[in-house]
Amino acid sequence: MTRKEQYAQLIPQIVGLIKGETNLVGILANVSAALHEAFPERFFWTGFYLHEEGKTLSLGPFQGSVACYSIPFGKGVCGKAWEQGRTLIVPDVEEFPGHIACSSLSRSEIVVPMYDSSHTFCGVLDIDSIRLDDFNDDDKDGLERVIALLMEETSNLFQQK
Ligand code: SME
């Protein structure tokens, strides 16, 4: 199966996980699990950092090994994706200035920022791969679709947080 096909298969599964649910932490945990399990040979950390108070991201639901609790605006790949307001693909984390290393196993990374229906920043989806240069435009498109779907269904839950 191609990556495109893998993401196409994931979409209905993720819709099923989210529809009608009101438990935001549970939804984010299940979405990170579904993504993580879809690519077990590549993804070793799959999860969310959430915008809490001020200019900081706070560790949210994830799958994988222990990770740092907070990331300031503009710092690391996550803080940079927030600052730049776009998906960032880092082919080699060692070449990314200011990369925050949570595990030496991480070789490449993709971070997708999340916005609610009022365009307010909510956090990021962060995925680390054990492979160098592992993320391409199929991952970007697929993961941005997953996040668009997630935010369509959970904007109100983020706003009530
Ligand atoms: N590498 C991230 C930090 C989070 S961990 O990868 C789980 C960054 O530079 O923002």
Query: Residue 54 has what pLDDT?
Result: 86
What are the residues whose beta carbons fall under 8 Å from the beta carbon of 84, sequence distance 6 or more? none
Using CA atoms, how far apart are residues 117 and 104, in angstroms rounded to an integer? 36
Question: 3-state DSSP: the chain helix, strand, coil percent, rounded to 5?
Answer: 40, 25, 35
Is there a contact between 17 and 29 (Cβ–Cβ < 8 Å)?
Answer: no
The residues that bridge with 45 in the sheet, in sequence order, are 64, 128
SS3 71: strand
Q: Whose CA is nearest to atom 3 of ligand 1?
A: 100
Question: By C-alpha distance, which of 45, 35, 112, 51 is closest to 77?
Answer: 112
Residues 97-115: what's their mean pLDDT? 93
For ligand 1, say whether the CB of 76 is within 6 Å of any of its atoms.
yes
Is the predicted pLDDT of residue 102 greater than 90, yes or no?
no
Query: Residue 91 has what pLDDT?
Result: 98
Is there a contact between 68 and 54 (Cβ–Cβ < 8 Å)?
Answer: no
Query: Residue 62 has what pLDDT?
Result: 98
pLDDT band for 53, please (50, 70, 90 cuts): confident
Residues 83-111: what's their mean pLDDT? 95
Q: What is the DSSP letter of 70?
A: E
Q: Whose CA is nearest to atom 7 of ligand 1?
A: 67
SS3 91: coil
Residues 115-136: what's their mean pLDDT? 97
Residues 25-51: what's their mean pLDDT? 97
Query: Residue 161 has what pLDDT?
Result: 82
Identify the H or E element spanning 124.
Answer: strand 121-129
Residue entry with tokens 């990374």: 109
Atom of ligand 1 nearest to the CA of 71: 10
Q: Whose CA is nearest to atom 1 of ligand 1?
A: 100
Higher pLDDT, 54 or 46: 46
- Dihedral (CA of 35, 123, 111, 64) sign: negative
Q: Whose CA is nearest to atom 5 of ligand 1?
A: 102
120 Cα: distance to centroid of ligand 1 (angstroms): 22
Tokens of 56: 């900081």
Domains of the chain plus CATH, in order, are 3-160 (3.30.450.40)
pLDDT band for 103, please (50, 70, 90 cuts): confident
**For the chain, percent of residues with pLDDT exceeding 70:** 100
